[in-house]
Protein backbone atom coordinates (compact mmCIF):
# COMPACT_ATOMS: atom_id res chain seq x y z
CA UNK A 1 0.00 0.00 0.00
CA UNK A 2 2.76 2.43 0.93
CA UNK A 3 4.75 2.11 -2.28
CA UNK A 4 1.58 2.74 -4.33
CA UNK A 5 0.79 5.82 -2.25
CA UNK A 6 4.30 7.16 -2.74
CA UNK A 7 4.07 6.61 -6.50
CA UNK A 8 0.69 8.35 -6.67
CA UNK A 9 2.01 11.29 -4.63
CA UNK A 10 5.04 11.57 -6.92
CA UNK A 11 2.79 11.43 -9.97
CA UNK A 12 0.52 14.17 -8.59
CA UNK A 13 3.53 16.26 -7.68
CA UNK A 14 4.91 15.73 -11.15
CA UNK A 15 1.67 16.82 -12.76
CA UNK A 16 1.53 19.89 -10.55
CA UNK A 17 5.15 20.85 -11.17
CA UNK A 18 5.49 19.83 -14.86
CA UNK A 19 3.83 22.96 -16.37
CA UNK A 20 6.29 25.09 -14.41
CA UNK A 21 9.22 23.02 -15.62
CA UNK A 22 7.93 23.07 -19.21
CA UNK A 23 7.26 26.79 -18.92
CA UNK A 24 10.78 27.39 -17.63
CA UNK A 25 12.25 25.28 -20.44
CA UNK A 26 10.04 27.00 -23.01
CA UNK A 27 10.93 30.46 -21.70
CA UNK A 28 14.62 29.61 -21.61
CA UNK A 29 14.48 28.32 -25.20
CA UNK A 30 12.58 31.42 -26.27
CA UNK A 31 15.07 33.72 -24.57
CA UNK A 32 18.02 31.80 -26.07
CA UNK A 33 16.38 31.94 -29.46
CA UNK A 34 15.73 35.68 -29.19
CA UNK A 35 19.30 36.37 -28.05
CA UNK A 36 20.68 34.19 -30.86
CA UNK A 37 18.51 35.86 -33.50
CA UNK A 38 19.32 39.30 -32.18
CA UNK A 39 23.04 38.51 -32.16
CA UNK A 40 22.89 37.04 -35.65
CA UNK A 41 21.05 40.13 -36.89
CA UNK A 42 23.61 42.40 -35.30
CA UNK A 43 26.49 40.34 -36.65
CA UNK A 44 24.90 40.28 -40.11
CA UNK A 45 24.38 44.02 -40.06
CA UNK A 46 27.88 44.71 -38.85
CA UNK A 47 29.51 42.19 -41.15
CA UNK A 48 28.33 43.68 -44.41
CA UNK A 49 31.56 45.62 -44.25
CA UNK A 50 35.04 44.25 -44.46
CA UNK A 51 38.19 46.30 -44.25
CA UNK A 52 40.96 44.63 -46.17
CA UNK A 53 44.07 46.06 -47.80
CA UNK A 54 47.81 46.18 -47.36
CA UNK A 55 50.60 48.16 -45.79
CA UNK A 56 54.13 48.63 -47.05
CA UNK A 57 57.49 49.76 -45.76
CA UNK A 58 60.34 50.28 -48.24
CA UNK A 59 64.05 50.96 -48.16
CA UNK A 60 66.40 51.92 -50.99
CA UNK A 61 70.19 51.82 -50.87
CA UNK A 62 72.46 52.96 -53.69
CA UNK A 63 75.77 54.80 -54.12
CA UNK A 64 74.02 58.16 -53.91
CA UNK A 65 71.07 57.46 -51.67
CA UNK A 66 70.18 55.45 -48.59
CA UNK A 67 66.65 55.95 -47.39
CA UNK A 68 63.66 54.31 -45.80
CA UNK A 69 60.86 55.58 -47.97
CA UNK A 70 57.41 54.94 -49.35
CA UNK A 71 55.68 54.05 -46.14
CA UNK A 72 52.21 53.22 -47.33
CA UNK A 73 48.89 52.15 -45.85
CA UNK A 74 46.17 51.17 -48.29
CA UNK A 75 42.87 50.15 -46.74
CA UNK A 76 40.21 48.64 -48.98
CA UNK A 77 36.63 48.89 -47.83
CA UNK A 78 34.36 46.16 -49.13
CA UNK A 79 30.63 46.50 -48.63
CA UNK A 80 28.08 43.97 -49.76
CA UNK A 81 24.66 45.52 -49.21
CA UNK A 82 22.93 42.86 -51.33
CA UNK A 83 23.83 39.40 -52.62
CA UNK A 84 24.19 40.86 -56.13
CA UNK A 85 25.92 44.13 -55.25
CA UNK A 86 29.46 44.85 -54.11
CA UNK A 87 31.02 48.22 -53.35
CA UNK A 88 34.79 48.52 -53.10
CA UNK A 89 36.88 51.55 -52.19
CA UNK A 90 40.67 51.73 -52.00
CA UNK A 91 42.35 54.67 -50.27
CA UNK A 92 46.06 54.96 -50.94
CA UNK A 93 47.82 56.67 -48.05
CA UNK A 94 51.54 57.30 -48.32
CA UNK A 95 54.21 59.57 -46.92
CA UNK A 96 55.53 61.84 -49.66
CA UNK A 97 58.43 63.95 -48.41
CA UNK A 98 57.29 65.09 -45.00
CA UNK A 99 53.61 65.17 -45.88
CA UNK A 100 50.99 62.46 -46.01
CA UNK A 101 49.37 61.97 -49.39
CA UNK A 102 45.91 60.42 -49.68
CA UNK A 103 44.60 59.29 -53.04
CA UNK A 104 41.50 57.45 -54.14
CA UNK A 105 42.84 54.30 -55.79
CA UNK A 106 39.42 53.12 -56.86
CA UNK A 107 35.80 53.46 -55.81
CA UNK A 108 33.24 51.44 -57.68
CA UNK A 109 30.03 49.49 -57.35
CA UNK A 110 29.55 46.12 -59.04
CA UNK A 111 26.24 44.55 -59.95
CA UNK A 112 26.29 40.80 -60.61
CA UNK A 113 23.71 40.68 -63.40
CA UNK A 114 23.89 36.96 -64.17
CA UNK A 115 26.36 34.07 -64.43
CA UNK A 116 28.29 35.72 -67.20
CA UNK A 117 28.03 39.45 -66.64
CA UNK A 118 29.05 41.86 -63.92
CA UNK A 119 28.66 45.60 -64.43
CA UNK A 120 30.99 47.97 -62.59
CA UNK A 121 30.55 51.70 -62.35
CA UNK A 122 32.79 54.33 -60.81
CA UNK A 123 36.55 54.63 -60.69
CA UNK A 124 38.03 51.18 -61.25
CA UNK A 125 41.41 49.62 -61.95
CA UNK A 126 42.07 49.63 -65.67
CA UNK A 127 41.59 46.23 -67.32
CA UNK A 128 44.71 46.72 -69.39
CA UNK A 129 47.27 43.93 -69.04
CA UNK A 130 47.63 42.20 -65.70
CA UNK A 131 49.99 44.28 -63.59
CA UNK A 132 47.74 47.15 -62.51
CA UNK A 133 44.55 45.13 -62.45
CA UNK A 134 45.84 42.19 -60.43
CA UNK A 135 49.46 42.35 -59.33
CA UNK A 136 50.16 45.86 -58.07
CA UNK A 137 49.39 45.43 -54.32
CA UNK A 138 52.67 45.08 -52.46
CA UNK A 139 51.71 41.79 -50.82
CA UNK A 140 51.02 40.33 -54.30
CA UNK A 141 53.84 41.92 -56.31
CA UNK A 142 56.83 39.57 -56.08
CA UNK A 143 59.39 42.36 -56.02
CA UNK A 144 59.76 45.58 -53.99
CA UNK A 145 59.65 47.64 -57.19
CA UNK A 146 57.15 47.84 -60.03
CA UNK A 147 58.10 46.98 -63.62
CA UNK A 148 59.34 49.82 -65.81
CA UNK A 149 56.56 52.01 -67.19
CA UNK A 150 53.88 50.07 -65.29
CA UNK A 151 53.77 52.32 -62.25
CA UNK A 152 52.80 55.94 -62.00
CA UNK A 153 56.20 57.56 -62.52
CA UNK A 154 57.44 59.68 -65.46
CA UNK A 155 57.89 56.64 -67.70
CA UNK A 156 54.41 55.27 -67.16
CA UNK A 157 52.12 55.41 -70.17
CA UNK A 158 49.54 52.68 -69.56
CA UNK A 159 46.25 53.28 -67.81
CA UNK A 160 46.12 52.78 -64.06
CA UNK A 161 42.45 53.47 -63.48
CA UNK A 162 39.40 54.49 -65.48
CA UNK A 163 36.24 56.39 -64.63
CA UNK A 164 33.15 55.02 -66.30
CA UNK A 165 31.39 51.69 -66.80
CA UNK A 166 32.96 48.26 -67.09
CA UNK A 167 31.28 45.04 -68.27
CA UNK A 168 33.11 41.89 -67.21
CA UNK A 169 32.77 38.22 -66.50
CA UNK A 170 34.06 34.72 -67.04
CA UNK A 171 32.79 31.58 -68.72
CA UNK A 172 33.79 27.99 -69.16
CA UNK A 173 34.25 26.59 -72.65
CA UNK A 174 34.77 22.84 -72.39
CA UNK A 175 37.78 22.38 -70.17
CA UNK A 176 39.03 25.87 -70.97
CA UNK A 177 37.95 29.27 -69.69
CA UNK A 178 37.63 32.75 -71.04
CA UNK A 179 37.27 36.06 -69.24
CA UNK A 180 36.51 39.51 -70.55
CA UNK A 181 36.33 43.12 -69.42
CA UNK A 182 35.08 45.90 -71.71
CA UNK A 183 34.76 49.50 -70.60
CA UNK A 184 33.70 52.99 -71.65
CA UNK A 185 35.43 55.71 -69.72
CA UNK A 186 36.53 59.30 -69.56
CA UNK A 187 39.29 60.19 -71.95
CA UNK A 188 42.88 60.20 -70.88
CA UNK A 189 44.50 63.62 -70.86
CA UNK A 190 47.52 64.45 -73.01
CA UNK A 191 50.27 66.04 -70.95
CA UNK A 192 51.75 69.01 -72.82
CA UNK A 193 53.35 70.99 -69.98
CA UNK A 194 57.03 71.70 -70.80
CA UNK A 195 57.91 71.80 -67.08
CA UNK A 196 58.57 68.05 -67.15
CA UNK A 197 59.92 67.36 -70.65
CA UNK A 198 59.91 63.56 -70.25
CA UNK A 199 56.15 63.66 -69.54
CA UNK A 200 55.27 65.63 -72.67
CA UNK A 201 53.20 63.40 -74.92
CA UNK A 202 52.28 60.96 -72.13
CA UNK A 203 48.81 60.53 -70.69
CA UNK A 204 47.09 60.85 -67.36
CA UNK A 205 44.06 58.73 -66.53
CA UNK A 206 41.11 58.71 -64.18
CA UNK A 207 40.21 62.33 -64.89
CA UNK A 208 36.78 63.79 -64.19
CA UNK A 209 37.39 67.17 -65.81
CA UNK A 210 38.27 66.00 -69.32
CA UNK A 211 36.29 67.82 -71.97
CA UNK A 212 35.59 65.94 -75.16
CA UNK A 213 32.64 64.93 -77.30
CA UNK A 214 33.40 61.22 -77.24
CA UNK A 215 34.33 58.74 -74.53
CA UNK A 216 37.20 56.29 -74.63
CA UNK A 217 36.66 52.56 -74.84
CA UNK A 218 38.65 49.38 -74.58
CA UNK A 219 39.02 46.15 -72.70
CA UNK A 220 40.82 42.91 -72.20
CA UNK A 221 40.09 39.31 -73.16
CA UNK A 222 41.85 36.53 -71.28
CA UNK A 223 42.11 32.93 -72.45
CA UNK A 224 42.85 30.05 -70.07
CA UNK A 225 43.29 27.08 -72.40
CA UNK A 226 44.55 24.58 -69.81
CA UNK A 227 41.98 22.90 -67.59
CA UNK A 228 43.86 23.68 -64.35
CA UNK A 229 43.80 27.44 -65.09
CA UNK A 230 47.58 27.60 -64.81
CA UNK A 231 48.04 29.40 -68.12
CA UNK A 232 46.42 32.68 -69.14
CA UNK A 233 47.07 34.80 -72.18
CA UNK A 234 45.44 38.21 -72.38
CA UNK A 235 44.94 40.84 -75.07
CA UNK A 236 44.10 44.44 -74.20
CA UNK A 237 43.14 47.49 -76.21
CA UNK A 238 42.26 51.08 -75.39
CA UNK A 239 41.28 53.89 -77.77
CA UNK A 240 40.10 57.46 -77.41
CA UNK A 241 40.66 61.15 -77.74
CA UNK A 242 43.35 62.47 -75.44
CA UNK A 243 43.69 66.12 -76.39
CA UNK A 244 41.77 68.93 -74.80
CA UNK A 245 39.44 71.24 -76.72
CA UNK A 246 42.17 73.70 -77.70
CA UNK A 247 43.05 74.02 -81.37
CA UNK A 248 46.46 72.35 -81.06
CA UNK A 249 45.31 69.13 -79.47
CA UNK A 250 41.59 68.60 -80.04
CA UNK A 251 42.08 65.90 -82.68
CA UNK A 252 44.84 63.97 -80.89
CA UNK A 253 43.91 60.34 -80.28
CA UNK A 254 45.70 57.43 -78.64
CA UNK A 255 45.53 53.71 -79.33
CA UNK A 256 47.08 51.36 -76.81
CA UNK A 257 47.74 47.65 -76.92
CA UNK A 258 48.95 45.07 -74.43
CA UNK A 259 49.60 41.35 -74.46
CA UNK A 260 50.03 39.56 -71.18
CA UNK A 261 51.08 36.07 -70.21
CA UNK A 262 50.73 34.24 -66.91
CA UNK A 263 51.71 30.73 -65.94
CA UNK A 264 51.80 29.32 -62.43
CA UNK A 265 51.85 25.71 -61.34
CA UNK A 266 53.44 23.43 -58.77
CA UNK A 267 55.77 21.11 -60.70
CA UNK A 268 57.03 17.86 -59.17
CA UNK A 269 60.31 17.67 -61.06
CA UNK A 270 61.47 21.01 -59.68
CA UNK A 271 59.88 20.38 -56.27
CA UNK A 272 58.26 23.74 -56.21
CA UNK A 273 55.99 26.33 -57.76
CA UNK A 274 56.98 28.17 -60.89
CA UNK A 275 55.31 31.52 -61.49
CA UNK A 276 55.90 33.35 -64.76
CA UNK A 277 54.33 36.67 -65.61
CA UNK A 278 54.93 38.88 -68.64
CA UNK A 279 53.36 41.91 -70.26
CA UNK A 280 54.10 43.94 -73.38
CA UNK A 281 52.58 47.41 -73.85
CA UNK A 282 52.44 49.73 -76.80
CA UNK A 283 51.05 53.25 -77.15
CA UNK A 284 50.48 55.00 -80.47
CA UNK A 285 49.61 58.63 -79.83
CA UNK A 286 48.92 60.97 -82.73
CA UNK A 287 51.67 63.41 -83.47
CA UNK A 288 51.28 66.83 -81.89
CA UNK A 289 53.39 69.92 -81.37
CA UNK A 290 54.77 70.65 -77.92
CA UNK A 291 56.50 73.71 -76.52
CA UNK A 292 60.24 73.13 -76.52
CA UNK A 293 61.36 73.08 -72.89
CA UNK A 294 64.86 74.10 -74.01
CA UNK A 295 63.67 77.47 -75.34
CA UNK A 296 63.44 80.04 -72.53
CA UNK A 297 61.31 82.35 -74.71
CA UNK A 298 58.59 79.68 -74.96
CA UNK A 299 58.05 80.25 -78.65
CA UNK A 300 59.64 77.15 -80.21
CA UNK A 301 57.58 74.09 -80.93
CA UNK A 302 58.76 70.57 -81.63
CA UNK A 303 57.14 67.27 -82.49
CA UNK A 304 58.08 63.60 -82.47
CA UNK A 305 56.73 60.25 -83.56
CA UNK A 306 54.86 59.39 -80.37
CA UNK A 307 55.05 55.61 -80.31
CA UNK A 308 56.45 53.93 -77.22
CA UNK A 309 56.64 50.38 -75.92
CA UNK A 310 57.51 48.69 -72.67
CA UNK A 311 57.64 45.13 -71.41
CA UNK A 312 58.45 43.01 -68.43
CA UNK A 313 58.95 39.30 -67.96
CA UNK A 314 59.24 37.82 -64.51
CA UNK A 315 59.94 34.35 -63.17
CA UNK A 316 59.58 33.28 -59.55
CA UNK A 317 60.41 29.94 -58.00
CA UNK A 318 59.38 28.78 -54.54
CA UNK A 319 60.33 25.28 -53.34
CA UNK A 320 56.87 24.55 -51.91
CA UNK A 321 57.49 20.79 -51.94
CA UNK A 322 60.74 20.99 -49.97
CA UNK A 323 61.05 19.19 -46.64
CA UNK A 324 62.62 22.29 -45.12
CA UNK A 325 60.17 24.74 -43.54
CA UNK A 326 62.59 27.60 -44.21
CA UNK A 327 62.99 26.79 -47.89
CA UNK A 328 59.24 26.39 -48.33
CA UNK A 329 58.80 30.01 -47.32
CA UNK A 330 61.63 31.31 -49.48
CA UNK A 331 61.14 32.54 -53.02
CA UNK A 332 63.57 33.56 -55.74
CA UNK A 333 62.49 36.11 -58.34
CA UNK A 334 63.98 37.52 -61.51
CA UNK A 335 62.50 40.24 -63.69
CA UNK A 336 63.69 41.67 -66.98
CA UNK A 337 61.99 44.87 -68.06
CA UNK A 338 62.45 47.43 -70.79
CA UNK A 339 61.22 50.78 -72.07
CA UNK A 340 61.56 52.06 -75.63
CA UNK A 341 60.83 55.79 -75.89
CA UNK A 342 59.53 57.64 -78.95
CA UNK A 343 62.27 58.78 -81.30
CA UNK A 344 62.86 62.48 -80.79
CA UNK A 345 61.17 62.78 -77.39
CA UNK A 346 62.90 65.00 -74.82
CA UNK A 347 64.79 63.56 -71.86
CA UNK A 348 63.87 59.96 -72.59
CA UNK A 349 66.13 57.09 -73.49
CA UNK A 350 65.91 53.36 -73.91
CA UNK A 351 66.14 51.51 -70.61
CA UNK A 352 66.78 47.90 -69.75
CA UNK A 353 66.31 46.83 -66.19
CA UNK A 354 67.30 43.59 -64.41
CA UNK A 355 65.94 42.83 -60.95
CA UNK A 356 67.05 39.88 -58.79
CA UNK A 357 65.00 39.29 -55.66
CA UNK A 358 64.59 36.98 -52.72
CA UNK A 359 61.48 36.86 -50.56
CA UNK A 360 60.69 35.26 -47.24
CA UNK A 361 57.00 34.63 -46.59
CA UNK A 362 56.09 34.75 -42.88
CA UNK A 363 52.57 33.69 -43.81
CA UNK A 364 50.40 33.78 -46.93
CA UNK A 365 50.14 37.58 -46.94
CA UNK A 366 53.23 38.86 -45.14
CA UNK A 367 56.62 38.97 -46.79
CA UNK A 368 60.07 40.42 -46.40
CA UNK A 369 61.56 41.16 -49.81
CA UNK A 370 65.07 42.12 -50.83
CA UNK A 371 66.15 42.85 -54.39
CA UNK A 372 69.07 44.13 -56.40
CA UNK A 373 67.98 46.20 -59.38
CA UNK A 374 70.37 46.99 -62.18
CA UNK A 375 69.92 49.73 -64.77
CA UNK A 376 72.45 51.75 -66.68
CA UNK A 377 74.04 54.09 -64.09
CA UNK A 378 71.23 53.39 -61.68
CA UNK A 379 71.83 50.32 -59.54
CA UNK A 380 70.25 49.92 -56.13
CA UNK A 381 69.26 47.48 -53.42
CA UNK A 382 65.65 47.57 -52.29
CA UNK A 383 64.02 46.05 -49.25
CA UNK A 384 60.34 45.88 -48.45
CA UNK A 385 58.04 44.58 -45.78
CA UNK A 386 54.60 43.98 -47.21
CA UNK A 387 51.61 42.97 -45.15
CA UNK A 388 48.19 42.19 -46.55
CA UNK A 389 45.22 42.28 -44.22
CA UNK B 1 65.20 43.46 -80.95
CA UNK B 2 65.75 40.09 -82.64
CA UNK B 3 67.51 38.86 -79.50
CA UNK B 4 64.52 39.88 -77.36
CA UNK B 5 62.13 38.02 -79.66
CA UNK B 6 64.33 34.91 -79.49
CA UNK B 7 64.38 35.09 -75.67
CA UNK B 8 60.59 35.45 -75.54
CA UNK B 9 60.01 32.58 -78.00
CA UNK B 10 62.43 30.38 -76.05
CA UNK B 11 60.68 31.22 -72.77
CA UNK B 12 57.28 30.40 -74.27
CA UNK B 13 58.52 27.04 -75.61
CA UNK B 14 59.98 26.09 -72.21
CA UNK B 15 56.81 27.15 -70.45
CA UNK B 16 54.52 25.29 -72.84
CA UNK B 17 56.63 22.17 -72.31
CA UNK B 18 56.20 22.46 -68.55
CA UNK B 19 52.50 23.14 -68.98
CA UNK B 20 51.80 20.03 -70.99
CA UNK B 21 54.08 17.93 -68.77
CA UNK B 22 52.00 18.84 -65.72
CA UNK B 23 48.62 18.72 -67.40
CA UNK B 24 45.88 16.39 -66.15
CA UNK B 25 42.60 16.52 -68.01
CA UNK B 26 39.33 17.15 -66.15
CA UNK B 27 36.46 19.64 -66.49
CA UNK B 28 36.06 22.63 -64.23
CA UNK B 29 32.56 21.56 -63.18
CA UNK B 30 33.89 18.19 -61.96
CA UNK B 31 36.37 19.81 -59.62
CA UNK B 32 35.98 20.19 -55.89
CA UNK B 33 36.04 23.53 -54.10
CA UNK B 34 39.47 22.77 -52.69
CA UNK B 35 40.86 22.07 -56.17
CA UNK B 36 39.44 25.30 -57.53
CA UNK B 37 40.72 27.21 -54.47
CA UNK B 38 44.22 25.83 -55.02
CA UNK B 39 44.21 26.50 -58.75
CA UNK B 40 42.62 29.94 -58.91
CA UNK B 41 43.81 31.92 -55.87
CA UNK B 42 47.45 31.23 -56.67
CA UNK B 43 47.08 32.74 -60.14
CA UNK B 44 47.68 36.11 -58.47
CA UNK B 45 48.59 35.56 -54.82
CA UNK B 46 49.27 32.89 -52.19
CA UNK B 47 46.20 30.83 -51.40
CA UNK B 48 44.68 31.90 -48.08
CA UNK B 49 43.71 29.28 -45.46
CA UNK B 50 40.03 29.03 -44.55
CA UNK B 51 40.87 30.18 -41.01
CA UNK B 52 42.00 33.58 -42.30
CA UNK B 53 38.46 35.01 -42.30
CA UNK B 54 35.02 34.30 -40.87
CA UNK B 55 32.26 32.77 -42.99
CA UNK B 56 30.58 36.14 -43.44
CA UNK B 57 33.85 37.75 -44.45
CA UNK B 58 34.48 34.95 -46.96
CA UNK B 59 31.08 35.69 -48.45
CA UNK B 60 32.13 39.29 -49.12
CA UNK B 61 35.60 38.30 -50.34
CA UNK B 62 34.19 35.72 -52.76
CA UNK B 63 32.16 38.46 -54.48
CA UNK B 64 35.23 40.70 -54.55
CA UNK B 65 37.33 37.94 -56.12
CA UNK B 66 34.62 36.89 -58.55
CA UNK B 67 34.58 40.43 -59.87
CA UNK B 68 38.34 41.02 -59.70
CA UNK B 69 39.61 37.70 -61.08
CA UNK B 70 36.59 37.21 -63.32
CA UNK B 71 35.93 33.77 -61.89
CA UNK B 72 32.91 31.90 -63.17
CA UNK B 73 29.90 31.72 -60.87
CA UNK B 74 30.45 27.98 -60.37
CA UNK B 75 34.06 28.48 -59.34
CA UNK B 76 33.16 31.29 -56.98
CA UNK B 77 30.39 29.29 -55.27
CA UNK B 78 32.46 26.12 -54.91
CA UNK B 79 35.46 27.97 -53.52
CA UNK B 80 33.24 29.84 -51.05
CA UNK B 81 31.63 26.60 -49.90
CA UNK B 82 35.05 25.03 -49.39
CA UNK B 83 36.34 27.99 -47.39
CA UNK B 84 33.20 28.14 -45.25
CA UNK B 85 32.70 24.45 -44.58
CA UNK B 86 35.93 22.73 -45.51
CA UNK B 87 34.18 20.65 -48.18
- Dist. CA A347–CA A365, nearest whole Å: 39
DSSP state of B46: P
- Dist. CA A131–CA A134, nearest whole Å: 6
Q: ipTM value of the model?
A: 0.82
Average pLDDT taken over every residue of chain A = 87
Domain residue ranges in chain A: 1-30, 73-310
Q: Which residue has the higher pLDDT, A259 or A2?
A: A259
B54: domain range?
Answer: 2-85
**Which of B5, B43, B62, B64 to mutate to probe the A interface, most A CBs <10 Å?**
B43
Q: Phi first, then psi: give them for residue A229, nearest 5 degrees.
A: 60, 20
What's the pLDDT at A5? Answer: 46
The contacts of residue A261 (CB under 8 Å, 6+ apart) are A232, A233, A234, A276, A277, A278, A279, B12
**Model confidence pLDDT, tens digit, residues A219-267:** 999 999 999 999 999 999 999 988 877 777 888 999 999 999 999 999 9
- Dist. CA A114–CA A94, nearest whole Å: 38
What's the pLDDT at A158? Answer: 81
**Model confidence pLDDT, tens digit, residues A263-304:** 999 999 999 999 999 999 999 999 988 888 888 887 888 889
**Model confidence pLDDT, tens digit, residues A108-149:** 999 999 999 999 999 999 999 999 999 999 999 999 999 988
Show which of residues 19-78 on chain B sit within 8 Å of chain A, judged by CB atoms: 19, 21-29, 39-40, 42-49, 52-54, 56-57, 59-61, 63-64, 66-75
Q: Do B73 and A115 touch (CB under 8 A)?
A: yes
Measured CA angle at A124 (ends A118, A130), to 5 deg? 85
Chain A: residue nearest B27 by CA?
Answer: A175
Secondary structure class of A91 (helix, strand, coil): strand
Write out chain B residues lying below 8 Å of A177, CB-based: 28, 72
b (16+ CB within 10 A) / e for B34-65:
bbbbbbbbbbbbbebeeebbeebbbbbbbbbb
Domain count, chain B: 1
**Model confidence pLDDT, tens digit, residues A173-184:** 988 999 999 999
CA distances from A139 to A72, A255, A320, A328, B83 (A): 12, 32, 18, 17, 21
Residue A25 has pLDDT above 80, yes or no: no
Amino acid sequence: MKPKLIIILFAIGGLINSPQIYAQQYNQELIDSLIKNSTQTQVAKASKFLISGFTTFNGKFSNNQSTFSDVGFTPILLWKPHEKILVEVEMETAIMGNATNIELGYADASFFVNKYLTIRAGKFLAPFGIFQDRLHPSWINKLPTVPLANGEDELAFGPVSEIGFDFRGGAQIGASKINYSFFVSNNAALITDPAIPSKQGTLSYGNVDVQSKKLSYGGRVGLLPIENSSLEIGFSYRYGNVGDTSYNYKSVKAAMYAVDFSYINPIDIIKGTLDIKAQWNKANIDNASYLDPGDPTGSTWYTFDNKRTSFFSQAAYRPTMSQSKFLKKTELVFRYAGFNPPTGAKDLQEIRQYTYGINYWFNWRTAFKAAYQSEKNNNAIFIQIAVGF
Amino acid sequence: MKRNILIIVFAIIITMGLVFASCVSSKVTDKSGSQLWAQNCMRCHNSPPSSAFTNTQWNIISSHMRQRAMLTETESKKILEFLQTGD
